[in-house]
Structure 1
Amino acid sequence: MEIKKGLSHWATAAISWLRSHTPLWLSGLVRRGLRAAAEAPQLDRLDRAAATAFDRVFCEGMAKDPEGFPAKWQKLLDEGAFDDLYDSAAEEMATKVYGSLRESAPRLARNLRRDELRLARRMRRVWGRADIAFQANNYLGYELGAHIARSGKQHSPKMVALLGAHGRALRTASEVRQLAMSGFHAGATARWRSLHELSVLVCVLNQADEVISERYLAYARIEQLRDLKHFQQHAEALKRRPFGPDEVELTEQQAAETVERWGPEMKKENGWAFPLFIGQKRVTFVDLESLAGLSYLRPFYRLGSNHIHSGSRASELNLTDLTPHGTPAITVGASVFGDIAETCHGAMISVHQATEALVSGFLNESTDGGLDLLVGLKAQSRFIDESGELWGYAADEARARGWFSHGPDD
Structure 2
Amino acid sequence: MSDAWHLNDYQRAIEALIADAMAVHGEDVVTDDLIDEVIDGTFPKMTDTLYAELSRRSSAMLREHRKIRKGFVRRNFRRWRAGFDLLEQLIVISQETGQAINEALRPAAIEANDALFEAVITNHARAVQVSREIMTLMIGGFPDGALARWRTLHEIGVTSVFLSQQGPTVAKRYILHDHITSYKRALNYMEHHERANLEPIEDEVLVELKQANDQIISEYGPAMRHDYGWAAECLGKEKPIFVDLEIATGLDHWRPRVGTHKRDSLGGWDVIHALRQQERGFERVLVE
- Is residue 210 of structure 1 aligned with residue 168 of structure 2? yes
Please report how far the alpha carbon of residue 247 of structure 1 lies from its aligned counterpart in structure 2 after TM superposition.
1.5
Q: Which moved more, 1:257-266 or 1:207-216?
A: 257-266
CA positional deviation for 1:82:
6.6
Partner of 2:26 in structure 1? 74
Report the counterpart of residue 92 of structure 2 in structure 1. 139
Aligned twin of 1:246: 204
Paired AA for residue 234 in structure 1: H
1:47 aligns with 2:2: no
Partner of 1:310: 267
Q: Distance in 1 between matches of 2:278 and 2:36?
A: 41
1:31 matched residue in structure 2: 3
Instruction: Confirm or deny that 1:287 pairs with 2:261.
Output: no
* Higher RCO (Cα < 8 Å, 6 or more apart): 1
TM-fit CA distance, 1:184: 0.9
Q: Is 1:173 matched up with 2:131? A: yes
Identity among equivalent positions (%) equals 22
Q: CA deviation at 1:287?
A: 0.7
Partner of 2:150: 192
- Mapped contact 2:162–2:245 kept (Cα < 8 A): yes
Name the CA shift for 1:254/1:117 in 2 (closer, same or farther; >3 Å). Answer: same
Return the offset for 1:93: 2.8
Per the TM alignment, residue 84 of structure 1 is displaced from its structure 2 partner at its CA by 4.6
1:153 pairs, out of 107, 111, 119, with 107
TM-score by length of 2: 0.86
Letter in 2 for 1:139: V
Structure (1 or 2) with the larger CA radius of gyration: 1
Q: Which of 262, 266, 274 is equivalent to 2:224?
A: 266
Superposition CA RMSD, Å: 2.7
State the shift of 1:276 in Å: 2.0
Q: What is the identity, as a one-letter code, of the residue corresponding to 2:255?
A: R
1:117 maps to which of 56, 70, 74? 70
Within 2, Cα distance between the matches of 1:230 and 1:108?
A: 40
For structure 2, which runs of at least 5 residues remain unmatched after alignment?
A: none
The answer to whether the 8 A contact 2:18-2:38 is kept is no
Q: CA separation in 2, counterparts of 1:73 and 1:215?
A: 71
1:222-275 deviations in whole A, cap 9, x for unaligned? 111101110111122122222232221111111111122222221122011112
Offset from partner CA, 1:122-153 (integer Å, 9 cap, x none): 21122111101111100100001100111152
Moved more, 176-185 or 218-227: 176-185
Alpha-carbon distance in 2 for matches of 1:274, 1:119: 48
CA distance in 2, matches of 1:201, 1:270: 10
Deviations 1:145-201 (A, max 9, x none): 100111152321111000111111111111111111211111111111111001101
Higher helix share: 2
Q: Deviations over 1:8-40 (max 9, x none)?
A: xxxxxxxxxxxxxxxxxxxx9x534x7xxxxxx
**1:57-82 per-position Cα deviation (integer Å, ceiling 9, x unaligned):** 79xxxxxxxxxx96x55299559777
Equivalent residue for 1:299? 256
Unaligned runs of 5+ in 1: 1-27, 35-41, 59-68, 331-410
Deviation at 1:83, TM superposition (A): 5.5
Using the alignment, how far apart are the partners of 2:35 and 2:252 within structure 1?
62
SS in 2 for 1:282: coil
TM norm structure 1? 0.62
Q: Distance in 2 between matches of 1:235 and 1:250?
A: 19
Mapped to 2, the partners of 1:238 and 1:93 lie a distance apart of 26
Partner amino acid for 1:166? H
